[in-house]
Amino acid sequence: MPYEWNDQDLKEIRARGSTPEKVASYIEQFQQGFPTIQLDRPCTLGDGITTLLDGQDRLASLHAAAAAAGRIGGR
């Protein structure tokens, strides 16, 4: 299904470093769905889960810098 992008769509797609074709591909993937996976066990600390306590200050600084630069936001 071809998508008809308006000028604002194209501007936003390119501003995010993508292409209309790539975005259309993503949309098609979501419309078709994704295969389910079979988990063999729940994640636990050290086995799929990582604690952030050791790097909490560094991560908070990275978040603050990204927010100040306008790279974090919601719509």
Strand residue runs (E) in 1-75 = 44-45, 48-49
Return the domain boundaries, the chain. Answer: 7-68
**Cα R_g (the chain), whole angstroms:** 19
State pLDDT tens for residues 48-67.
888 877 778 888 899 999 99
Q: What is the pLDDT of residues 5-51, one digit of tens each?
A: 999 999 999 999 999 999 999 999 999 999 999 999 999 998 988 88
**Is residue 59 within 8 Å of 52, Cβ to Cβ?**
yes
Give pLDDT, residue 74. 54
**Which residue is associated with the tokens 């719509």?**
75
Question: What is the reported pLDDT for 58?
Answer: 86
Whole-angstrom Cα distance, residue 71 to residue 66? 5
According to the model, what pLDDT value does residue 55 have? Answer: 78
Token pair belonging to 11: 């501007």
What is the value of pTM for the model shown? 0.49
